[in-house]
Amino acid sequence: MKMSIVVCGRSLEDFLNEIERFHGFRAPGLVLGGFMVDWAQELIGPNVEADAIVETAYCLPDAVQIFTPCTIGNGWLKVLDWDKFAVTLYDRKQLRGYRVWFDLEKARSVPDLYDWYMRRVAKKDLPLEVLLDAILEAGRYVLSSGAIRVTGHFERKKKGNTQICPECGEAYPATQGATCFACQGKGYYERR
Ligand SMILES: [Zn+2]
């Protein structure tokens, strides 16, 4: 394991420890995602107020939340559930930024990484430590980047009118209808 590298402004040890603390373990996708965020940050530069878009709901959102100020909760991170391993950081005023993605063609020369990403290998046949070493060894080598202009999905969610549900008494957005989604039977729970 190379110990001298710096990722997202941190030593490799700090980088991996923060991932473990936030995510529960050193998830390969999150370690790879850290390298992606690192590159996107470098490309966009330190003085830009950047919003983020990730193209998968797995791992990559956490890389953005750990290593940038963008979170789901503050609305600066948008998660597209496309199952594509790509992240964009962009200037929220100019809508110009950089997209970094896992480049499958480049990854062909790192078989462990390729097989893991393409889900061709069972977890038991590829120990986490081996996979992590392959990711740390590869770093940006399996990634590509490009300058982009953001043309969609950048709108900040606006809050609409709030009203009180006549059935449950909880506040809900008026756009849901005469009663809240839960009381319309569109919820995820029933009362016990
Ligand atoms: Zn209700």
CATH code for the domain of 173: 3.30.60.80
Instruction: Flag whether the pTM goes above 0.85.
Output: yes
Mean pLDDT for 96-118 is 96
CA of 115 to the centre of ligand 1 (A): 47
Same domain, 33 and 79: yes
Measured in Å, residue 180 CA sits from the centre of ligand 1 at 4
- Do residue 78 and residue 119 come from a single domain? yes
Which residues neighbour 14 within 8 Å (Cβ) at sequence distance 6 or greater? none
Instruction: State whether 24 and 45 are in the same domain.
Output: yes
List the one residue out of 123, 114, 128 whose CA is nearest residue 26. Answer: 128
Measured in angstroms, how far is the CA atom of residue 101 from the centroid of ligand 1?
A: 42
Alpha carbon of 190 to ligand 1 centroid (Å): 12
Greater pLDDT, 123 or 177 = 177
User: What is the span of the domain harbouring residue 19?
Assistant: 6-149
pLDDT surpasses 60 at 2: no
- Average pLDDT, whole number, for the chain? 94
**One domain for residues 77 and 114:** yes
The pLDDT confidence band at residue 1, using thresholds 50, 70 and 90, is low
Greater pLDDT, 108 or 155: 108
Statement to judge: residues 129 and 79 lie in one domain: yes
Neighbours of 134 (CB within 10 A): 20
Task: Give me the pLDDT at residue 165, please.
Answer: 97
pLDDT for the residue 54 = 97
Distance (angstroms) between ligand 1 centre and the Cα of 179 equals 5
pLDDT tens digits, one per residue of 171-190: 999 999 999 999 999 999 88
Q: What is the mean pLDDT of residues 8-14?
A: 94
